[in-house]
């Protein structure tokens, strides 16, 4: 009959979830399949594998010892029935096997670890026992299909599935012969050997409870550094078996290597290098709160922001949008974030750094319906990282993270789990973002790509989750209660290794492992857990098998020369997995040959005098410095060591290790000579004493030169200074003068209020006193708002120092002989660049130097073109907050010292700010210490010098618009005043003064029209400058004004400029509103500014959260002013209070303030007198008072 006359049916389609995989991936699974290979000569095996791959083995049931039945879906609608009857072991044979395992801890350990030791096969052969079938026919297979050839494809499919089960769990081999080895071991040991149970996700959750008492600790956050993070997570993952039985699709470790690499590159791009802003309203409305909700599969459900009425403000449900949001809130100054936002930002930065350094590992969870979830968690196999995590977890807000359980209920995480879960979620976002375009068929690999959840429902894969858990278990050894410790001891010329046991939560000294096994703890499941662990570790340290087999009767012994593989490969692996290695002191301080650099000043320059950073560079020379450990060697000694030593060598001073692979490299470097360094690299090497990880040793001669830069000698304060410098100010002046004498620039970055201006004026007066300003003058560049303040400070503190001003419309340059210091503004210098670059200056000072933080700006370029051997930048901004800004400042004070912006960003800015790398931060401080001085108000040495309250009168100038309005007010009102008398005149004078005061405040206040901006008012511009410094420092401030209208205008301008919603307490506020505003200012870090009407809030309030008080418009009554100041300066205030009195110079404000300051003790300035004394002035006195 022709072939086509049969009822032909095509091959069945693959079941959903099936995928192509490998079988016999372990040596024991492969051995089992060899029975098939020996019997097959028809090609049915490959067709059977296809059936297995398609998931057509529908079920397998045990019907007795050695007996199985299964159903295989073939081409017919009804599945085929398969049977297997493998002769079970007799009771005697089973007991023999159990006895061999029971009496050999090495065999037991390997079996518990999920491995079948080949030594067991050898042992059983001595008893004529075999675990594997000798032939296909030993299995007694049958099938209901019409194919009478053996094996048929359905039988082959079944055996492939069985082989997959055996790959993942060698206990299956014993079950197939009627021996339930797992149960037998439980009975023998009295414990639970199976440590592969997966934690249910719901076990991490609890009902939402009242939150514990919590407060963000800024000091702990400030000292939290990420430099402890290494690639510890990846190093542990890399030690796992490359082809685990649950995968079978090439090297899973290589797959994860690619995933980790993608994630590291992607995370490195998740940085925001934009301008720091205090707050951005549409990103994080002030006064609100955040909640982050996860779904039941560990994914993002939503991030929700609520206002203080619990109304949702915005919601993010997309992981990619959430990442964008996280990078954008980095632009917000941390001081304006609430505890939840700070927690999110900190943990995002930590997760990002962990992703970059590969400091995380996979972890499994299960769902209530049996599916499997995978998450990435911080690696805990490194002690320094564990300490970092403990400190970071302590900072986490307890009311941020929530999750949905299997029933769809909103729960919170267990307190001990919540910070880890948050970090895990953020790590998962980064992994998912990096691998968004990667797809895979195998459910195991989909899990690693965070395609959660996955269900292993295909027959032959149900055991894969446990196999995965067992495979991943080595990544979490540091979390175990009992951990093995590898102790290495010296015994004459030998080195000994034995195993101790350490209880993680205990305080006892680790004890011998086999002695501990006899204790109550060791007799239970904990003993089996440790034995299981040691069985798995034998894969890395094969000698462990003989140690375990002997029950630790003798330690492992090695000669020094044979110990190298253990010391350099095995023990580092154990440490990489988070286990403790106890080394003798001599081995802990292992000596290694190395090449460092030696820096010296050239011999022909003995008498060389430094005259700038470039001249220092010109005298430097570098050569190789060979060393063994800390001991310097000559080149001859070094070459001799490299040529005669190999591996581990015992010397009189200890152990040395000479890596043969490094010898050729070191010799080649010696022959090639030291590297050619660029100018900035040479300078960095000298000041940091390292280069690319190599130590740089300074010669005695060069070190003396460098130390001279780091310490300014005490200098006599010039006689012309009419002030007593505080000790820290004297130090600052000495330092400025010493750097100037060497032709070096300086960045004076003291906190606001510590007297930077006085220190610089003292230096300028010193130059004048020495005649250094006779020919080349000093140039001081400031914002317009500070121009008058600088002139006044010079006149006050150094009356013999002649200031000249180059500013304003119709400006003319004063004659050279008429000034010592020229004051100008950034705007003038930018527009008249050639006026300043065409002449030579002795010293150039820039105040509020953040004005040149943008190196591409025309203003910055103009400033840097001005020629001056001594350049000084003044800034109150913390150097650690805006490193890229400081690159621009130092490029001005010390051109080319920090290299290009790209070099600086890569070498310093990103590691310090993004990675919180303390080692790099320390190196940066060493590098810049001679040229940057920053003292904080909180420094103990500074606090002792400061009074409790520092009062500063700060002046500004009218803008052009204000000047015009001011003059029109005078023109309109003075004639009316002169023509009136008595009470009418007093009323007109009060009206005039009020109008002028409003004009000085802001023209919009007087005109009652227009859009208020900081630029339109000199006083408002000065306020903005002060607020920037206060907010950047993380301080809080009270702003007092007489006028409700002005307070509203200030609130509007501050919100538009800084994005901060500012509370304003005035007479129209209810008692409840007042209390709410006060509580918010005192307790909410996102509320750093409080506007107050001096009438409504001048007395009775306690506002000690503020350490700055700004009097925007003065009451002209010291008692009232002091009462307002005392809202912050009172009992409970622990910091120095800085009081800023804003005065518009050359206006009536300026003159009245001078008058009041000269009569502070007079009775007519009692409380309530206010401005009434002005009404009693004569017309001539009044005209003189108010004129410009």
- Is the domain of 462 the same as that of 511? no
pLDDT tens figures, 302-315? 999 887 777 888 88
In a domain, residue 196? The reply is no
- Interatomic CA distance for residues 267 and 776, integer angstroms: 52
The answer to whether 364 and 373 are in contact (CB under 8 A) is yes
Lowest mean pLDDT among 252-256, 897-901, 1042-1046, 1156-1160: 1156-1160
Give pLDDT, residue 312.
Answer: 83
- Interatomic CA distance for residues 233 and 742, integer angstroms: 49
Cis-peptide, bond into residue 151, ω within 30° of zero:
yes
Give pLDDT, residue 447.
Answer: 94
Instruction: Give me the CATH number covering residue 863.
Output: 3.40.50.10810
> Which of 908, 939, 970 corresponds to the end of one domain?
939
| Continuous segment of H or E residues that includes residue 741 | helix 727-741
Give pLDDT, residue 626.
Answer: 82
Instruction: Give me the CATH number covering residue 1138.
Output: 3.40.50.300
Give pLDDT, residue 1158.
Answer: 62
pLDDT tens figures, 388-413? 999 999 999 998 999 999 888 999 99
Calculate the average pLDDT of the chain. Answer: 84
- Interatomic CA distance for residues 176 and 89, integer angstroms: 10
The answer to whether 1113 and 1001 are in contact (CB under 8 A) is yes
pLDDT tens figures, 251-291? 899 999 999 999 999 998 865 544 444 444 445 655 567 89
> Does position 968 have pLDDT exceeding 60, yes or no?
yes
pLDDT tens figures, 934-966? 887 667 667 666 667 888 888 888 998 999 998
- Is the domain of 290 the same as that of 210? yes
Lowest mean pLDDT among 462-466, 563-567, 1132-1136: 1132-1136
Backbone φ and ψ of 358, nearest 5°: 65, 45
Q: Which residue has the higher pLDDT, 884 or 1049?
A: 1049
- Is the domain of 284 the same as that of 353? yes
- Interatomic CA distance for residues 1003 and 1000, integer angstroms: 7
pLDDT tens figures, 405-458? 988 899 999 999 999 999 999 999 999 999 998 988 888 999 999 998 999 888
pLDDT tens figures, 87-111? 999 999 999 999 988 888 888 888 8
- Interatomic CA distance for residues 289 and 513, integer angstroms: 52
Give pLDDT, residue 608.
Answer: 43
> Which of 562, 588, 614 corresponds to the end of one domain?
588
- Is the domain of 720 the same as that of 615? no
In a domain, residue 194? The reply is no
- Secondary structure (DSSP) of 663-702: HHHHHHHHHH-SPPPPHHHHHHHHHHSEETTEEEEEPHHH
Pairing type for strands 631-633 and 360-366 reads: unpaired
Give pLDDT, residue 278.
Answer: 43
> Does position 733 have pLDDT exceeding 90, yes or no?
yes
- Is the domain of 538 the same as that of 489? yes
In a domain, residue 543? The reply is yes
Give pLDDT, residue 276.
Answer: 45
In a domain, residue 18? The reply is no
Of residues 32, 28, 55, 22, the one with CA closest to residue 462: 55
- Is the domain of 445 the same as that of 301? yes
Q: Which residue has the higher pLDDT, 369 or 1132?
A: 369
> Does position 75 have pLDDT exceeding 90, yes or no?
no
pLDDT tens figures, 1009-1027? 889 999 999 999 999 988 9
Give pLDDT, residue 1167.
Answer: 31
> Does position 1033 have pLDDT exceeding 80, yes or no?
no
Give 711's pLDDT tier (boundaries 50, 70, 90).
Answer: low
- Is the domain of 400 the same as that of 514? no
> Which of 142, 163, 189 corresponds to the end of one domain?
189
The count of domains in the chain is: 6
- Is the domain of 996 the same as that of 862? no
Percent share of the chain, pLDDT over 90: 32
Domain that holds residue 509: 480-588
Global confidence as pTM: 0.74
Give pLDDT, residue 698.
Answer: 84
> Does position 595 have pLDDT exceeding 90, yes or no?
no
Give pLDDT, residue 1022.
Answer: 92
The answer to whether 159 and 36 are in contact (CB under 8 A) is yes
Give pLDDT, residue 752.
Answer: 76
Give 507's pLDDT tier (boundaries 50, 70, 90).
Answer: low
In a domain, residue 197? The reply is no
Give pLDDT, residue 413.
Answer: 96
Q: Which residue has the higher pLDDT, 1043 or 151?
A: 1043
pLDDT tens figures, 840-884? 999 999 998 888 888 888 999 999 999 998 999 998 765 545 677
- Is the domain of 410 the same as that of 281? yes
Stretch 161-183: mean pLDDT, rounded?
Answer: 87
- Is the domain of 529 the same as that of 440? no
- Interatomic CA distance for residues 777 and 790, integer angstroms: 16
In a domain, residue 9? The reply is no
In a domain, residue 584? The reply is yes
- Is the domain of 439 the same as that of 564? no
- Is the domain of 278 the same as that of 396? yes
In a domain, residue 21? The reply is no
């Amino acid at each position: 009959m022709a072939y086509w006359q049969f009822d032909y049916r095509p091959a069945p389609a693959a079941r959903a979830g099936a995928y192509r995989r490998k079988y016999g991936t372990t040596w024991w699974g492969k051995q089992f399949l060899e029975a098939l290979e020996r019997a097959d000569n028809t090609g049915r095996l490959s067709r059977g594998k296809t059936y297995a791959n398609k998931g057509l083995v529908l079920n397998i049931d045990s019907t007795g010892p050695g007996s199985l039945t299964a159903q295989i879906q073939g081409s017919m609608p009804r599945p085929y029935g398969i049977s297997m009857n493998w002769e079970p072991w007799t009771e005697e044979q089973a007991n023999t096997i159990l006895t061999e395992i029971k009496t050999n801890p090495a065999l037991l350990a390997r079996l518990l670890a999920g491995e079948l030791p080949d030594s067991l096969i050898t042992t059983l052969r001595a008893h004529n026992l075999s675990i594997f079938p000798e032939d296909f026919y030993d299995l007694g297979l049958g099938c209901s299909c019409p194919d009478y050839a053996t094996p048929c494809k359905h039988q082959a499919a079944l055996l492939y599935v069985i082989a997959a089960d055996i790959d993942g769990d060698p206990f299956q081999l014993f079950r197939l012969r009627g021996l339930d080895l797992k149960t037998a071991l439980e009975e023998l040991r009295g414990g639970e050997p199976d440590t592969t149970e997966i934690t249910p996700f719901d076990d991490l959750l609890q009902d939402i409870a009242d939150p514990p008492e919590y407060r963000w600790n800024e000091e702990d956050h400030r000292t939290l550094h990420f430099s402890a993070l290494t690639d510890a997570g990846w190093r542990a993952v890399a030690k796992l078996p490359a082809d685990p039985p649950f995968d079978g699709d090439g090297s899973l470790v290589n797959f994860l290597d690619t995933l980790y690499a993608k994630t590291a590159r992607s995370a490195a791009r998740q940085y925001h290098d934009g301008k720091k802003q205090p707050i951005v309203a549409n990103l994080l409305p002030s006064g609100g709160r955040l909640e982050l909700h996860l779904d039941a599969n560990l994914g993002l459900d939503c991030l929700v922001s609520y206002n203080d009425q619990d109304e949702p403000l915005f919601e993010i449900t997309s992981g990619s949008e959430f990442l964008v949001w996280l990078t954008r809130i980095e632009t917000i100054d941390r001081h304006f974030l609430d505890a939840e936002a700070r927690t999110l930002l900190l943990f995002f930065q930590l997760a990002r750094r962990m992703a970059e350094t590969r400091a995380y590992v996979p972890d499994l969870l299960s769902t209530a319906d049996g599916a499997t979830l995978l998450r990435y968690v911080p690696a805990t196999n490194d002690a320094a990282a564990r300490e970092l995590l403990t400190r970071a977890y302590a900072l986490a807000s307890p009311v941020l993270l929530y999750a949905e359980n299997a029933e769809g209920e909103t729960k919170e995480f267990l307190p001990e789990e919540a910070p880890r879960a948050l970090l895990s979620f953020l790590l998962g976002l980064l992994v998912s973002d990096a691998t968004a375009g990667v797809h895979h068929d195998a459910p195991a690999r989909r899990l690693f790509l965070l395609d959660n959840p996955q269900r292993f429902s295909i027959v032959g894969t149900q055991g894969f989750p446990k196999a995965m858990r067992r495979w991943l278990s080595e990544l979490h050894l540091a979390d175990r209660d009992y951990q093995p410790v590898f102790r290495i001891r010296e015994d004459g010329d030998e080195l000994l290794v034995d195993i101790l046991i350490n209880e993680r939560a205990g305080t006892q000294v680790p004890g011998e492992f086999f002695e501990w096994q006899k204790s109550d703890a060791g007799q239970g499941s904990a003993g089996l857990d440790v034995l299981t662990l040691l069985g798995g570790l034998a894969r890395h340290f094969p000698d462990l098998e003989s140690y375990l087999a002997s029950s630790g009767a003798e330690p492992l012994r090695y000669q020094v020369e044979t110990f190298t593989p253990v010391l350099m490969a095995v023990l580092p692996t154990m440490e990489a997995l988070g286990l403790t290695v106890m080394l003798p002191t001599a081995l802990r301080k292992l000596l290694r040959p190395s090449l460092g650099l030696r820096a010296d000043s050239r011999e022909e320059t003995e008498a060389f005098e430094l005259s700038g950073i470039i001249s220092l560079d010109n005298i430097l020379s570098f050569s190789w410095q060979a060393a063994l450990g800390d001991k310097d060697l000559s080149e001859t000694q070094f070459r001799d060591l490299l040529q005669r030593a190999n591996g581990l060598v015992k010397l009189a001073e200890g152990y040395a290790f000479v890596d043969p692979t490094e010898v050729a490299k070191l010799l080649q470097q010696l022959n090639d000579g030291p590297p050619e360094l660029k100018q900035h690299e040479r300078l960095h090497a000298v000041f940091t004493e390292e280069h690319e990880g190599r130590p740089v040793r300074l010669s005695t001669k060069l070190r003396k030169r460098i130390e001279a830069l780091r310490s300014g000698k005490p200098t006599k304060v010039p006689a012309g200074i009419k002030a007593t410098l505080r000790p820290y100010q004297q130090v600052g002046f000495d330092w400025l003068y010493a750097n100037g004498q060497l032709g070096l620039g300086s960045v004076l970055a003291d906190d606001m209020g510590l007297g930077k201006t006085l220190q610089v004026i003292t230096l300028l007066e010193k130059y004048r006193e020495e005649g250094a300003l006779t020919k080349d003058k000093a140039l001081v560049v400031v914002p317009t708002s500070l121009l008058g303040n600088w002139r006044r400070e010079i006149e006050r503190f150094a009356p013999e120092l002649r200031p000249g001003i180059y500013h304003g419309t119709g400006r003319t340059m004063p004659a050279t002989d008429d000034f010592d210091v020229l004051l100008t503004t950034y705007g003038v210098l930018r527009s008249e660049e050639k006026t300043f670059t065409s002449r030579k200056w002795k010293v150039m000072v820039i105040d509020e130097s953040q004005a040149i933080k943008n190196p591409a700006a025309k203003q910055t370029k103009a400033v840097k073109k001005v020629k001056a051997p001594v350049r000084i930048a003044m800034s109150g901004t913390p150097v650690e907050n805006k490193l890229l800004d400081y690159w621009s400042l130092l490029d001005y004070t010390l051109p080319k010292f920090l290299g290009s912006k790209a070099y600086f960003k890569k070498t310093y800015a990103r590691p310090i700010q993004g990675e919180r790398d303390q080692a790099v931060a320390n190196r940066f401080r060493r590098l810049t210490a001679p040229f940057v001085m920053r003292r904080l108000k909180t420094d103990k040495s500074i606090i002792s010098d400061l009074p409790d309250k520092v009062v500063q009168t700060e002046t500004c100038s009218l803008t052009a618009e204000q000047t015009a309005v001011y003059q029109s007010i005078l023109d309109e009102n003075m004639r009316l005043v002169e023509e009136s008398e008595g009470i009418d005149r007093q009323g007109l004078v009060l009206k005039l003064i009020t109008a002028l005061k409003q004009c000085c405040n802001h023209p919009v206040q007087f005109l009652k029209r227009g859009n208020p901006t900081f630029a339109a008012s000199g006083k408002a511009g000065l306020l903005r400058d002060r607020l920037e410094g206060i907010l950047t420092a993380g301080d809080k401030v009270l702003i007092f004004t007489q006028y409700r209208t002005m307070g509203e205008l200030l609130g509007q301008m501050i919100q538009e400029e800084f994005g901060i919603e500012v509370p304003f307490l005035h007479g129209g506020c209810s008692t409840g509103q007042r209390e709410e505003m006060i509580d918010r200012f005192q307790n909410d870090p996102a509320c750093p500014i409080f506007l107050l009407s001096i009438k409504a809030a001048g007395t009775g309030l306690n506002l000690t959260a503020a350490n700055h008080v700004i009097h925007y418009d003065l009451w002209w009554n010291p008692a009232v002013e002091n009462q307002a100041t005392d809202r912050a300066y009172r009992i409970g205030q622990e910091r120095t209070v800085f009081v800023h009195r804003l005065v518009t110079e050359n206006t009536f404000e300026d003159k009245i303030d001078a008058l009041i300051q000269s009569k502070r003790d007079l009775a007519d300035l009692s409380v309530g007198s206010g401005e009434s004394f002005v009404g009693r002035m004569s017309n001539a006195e009044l005209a003189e008072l108010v004129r410009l």
